[in-house]
Amino acid sequence: MHRDIVDSCSLGCPCLTPRLASSSGRVSATLRWLCFRFADGDAYDVEICDYHYEYDEMSIPNDKPLMRRPTHPGEMLREDFLPDFGLTATKLAAAVNVSRQSINQLLRGRRAASPEMALRLGKLFGNSPEFWLGVQRAVDLWDAQQAIGEDVAGIETLQVASRSPRASGPGG
């Protein structure tokens, strides 16, 4: 769970803090930033702002369905990664040792990011294969929901059957 914290100091300016993350289920941080007014080349009304922030990640539900198709990994590559790294489709194909046709199909959203491609992209861009597979998984689940969502909605969710205690131990 990531959240941007936006608060205002006594000067009334919006104060943005870095994204916070925690794998423990609880985020707690004391944040400090410098606020000031700037005019005629000078800073004035300088103020140091402290903000204590805490929340339980498990208490923030994410139960709203996504209203649009998630970004395809190919679009992410085309719009963000290629320009940032100064790459073309041809250079990307050479860098990850696959055909230019494979890269072009991925960039156009006509091919999924396979586990093999995720390994290559994760190594090239210094992130992880799980990042690329997670982006692809979100697209795949969206597409499946659109295709068979009504059918899935008609499936009854099972409840765990109650178990009666055994009359005897194992073996008899």
pLDDT tens profile 49-102: 666 656 555 555 666 777 889 999 999 999 999 999 999 999 999 999 999 999
Q: Where are the domains of the chain?
A: 6-59, 73-148
In this prediction, residue 4 has a pLDDT band, given cuts at 50, 70 and 90, of very low
d(CA 102, CA 98): 7
d(CA 128, CA 121): 8
Q: How far does CA 54 lie from the centroid of its chain?
A: 21
d(CA 154, CA 59): 29
Question: Is residue 93 helix, strand or coil?
Answer: helix
What CATH number does the domain located at 73-148 have? Answer: 1.10.260.40
pLDDT tens profile 15-33: 444 444 444 556 566 666 6
- For residues 102 and 114, the answer to whether their CB atoms sit within 8 Å is no
Q: How many other C-beta atoms are found inside a 10 Å radius of the C-beta of residue 77?
A: 23
In the prediction, which pLDDT does 3 show?
40
Q: What is the 3-state secondary structure (H, E, C) of 22-88?
A: CCCCEEEEEEEEEEEEEECCEEEEEEEEEEEEEEEHHHCCCCCCCCCCCCCHHHHHHHHHHHHHCCC
In this prediction, residue 38 has a pLDDT band, given cuts at 50, 70 and 90, of confident
- Map tokens 């489709």 to a residue: 89
Does residue 138 register a pLDDT over 70? yes
